[in-house]
A = this chain, B = another copy of it.
Amino acid sequence: MTTKQIVLISRPKGKPAMENFQTNEFELPEIKDTEVLLEAMFFSVDPYMRGRMNDAKSYVPPFEIGKSIAGGAIAKVLKSNSPNFKENDIVIGNLPWQQHCIATENGLTKVDTVIAPASYYLGILGMPGLTAYFGLMHIGKPKAGETVVVSGAAGAVGIVVGQIAKLQGCRVVGIAGSDEKVKLLKEEFCFDEVINYKTSANIKKAIADVCPNAVDIYYDNVGGEISDAVISNINFNARIVLCGQIALYNSTEIPMGPRLQPMLLTRSVLMQGFIVSNYQSQFEEGLSHLSLWLKEGKLKYKETIVNGFEKLPSALMGLFNGDNTGKMIVEV
């Protein structure tokens, strides 16, 4: 059958642009033994994908030029030569940006659409939810009464971090990039305070004003000057969870900033970088908490769904403009 794919045709310098992507039509062969034919339903677009567009050593290999971009996706089984999957099963896996694809049975997992809508497995019940959970609970180790600051608070991870921190009895301060996001986080997601970094003349002071007892946990999704402002308000024995640095992903030179070590030293602060797969052996623990909180209504969720396979590149680019509130998803 004929299908469409989106390939990376050049590596972006700075922000990704449409010229870095190309949509091709091509012919899929017949599936072989243990293979399945999938029809894509939802694609996840995530900030970490920007790193894979560079030709640089990291925790995941770079995307190859001339090949499909790939990432988390939900798909429907159209045809199966695997005893593990049957027609109409809904599965999650790391899949190429193709309307249809052939996948081997390994690396695919069935999702239960009775528990939650299929797309949730790309968000709150998937990588971003687990990232929020393990970063906050296993690195941040929140204690009731502590002050937690979350940057990128309205993003897929931040919106979950803030709610889990509230469930732990913390005071939660979010940092986001629009008045709509501020309103949403305060009114719908129970953040104690939210700062709009785009309209705040002095973020350092804005944080100091709403964190009179300093910042005990900083869950960092953005990096750059916002993080400088938070860290200048850091408390003794604080924990800084390095989850994302979206403000720096499009940098073409090594970004410079104030040296943090003297502050981290004199205040006995921990800073820990992590990726969610470090906690793979404990995913079950994380998912059981997230599912339960979701079921009990203690955890709310928000998606920005973009419609159309061809919108994948623009949806990815939109992450760097803060176009999304909650998880950015492309529905095919």
Contacts and interface: CB of A to CB of B under 8 A. Distances in A.
A308 interface: no
Interface in A250-286: 254-275, 278
Nearest to A278: B268
B220 A261 contact: yes
A243 interface: yes
Interface string A109-151: 0000000000000000000000000000000000000000000
A227 interface: yes
B258 A255 contact: yes
A312 to B, nearest CB: 24
A220 B242 CA distance: 20
Interface string A43-62: 00000000100000011000
Interface residues of A, number: 36
B273 A59 contact: no
Interface of A: 51, 58-59, 220, 223-224, 227, 236, 242-245, 248, 254-275, 278
22 contacts: A59-B266, A223-B261, A242-B265, A243-B265, A245-B261, A248-B262, A254-B259, A255-B259, A256-B256, A256-B259, A257-B257, A264-B272, A264-B273, A265-B274, A265-B275, A266-B273, A266-B275, A267-B273, A268-B273, A268-B275, A270-B272, A271-B272
Contact of A256 (B224, B258, B263, B266): B258
A242 to B, nearest CB: 4
Contact of A245 (B244, B256, B262): B262
B59 A262 contact: no
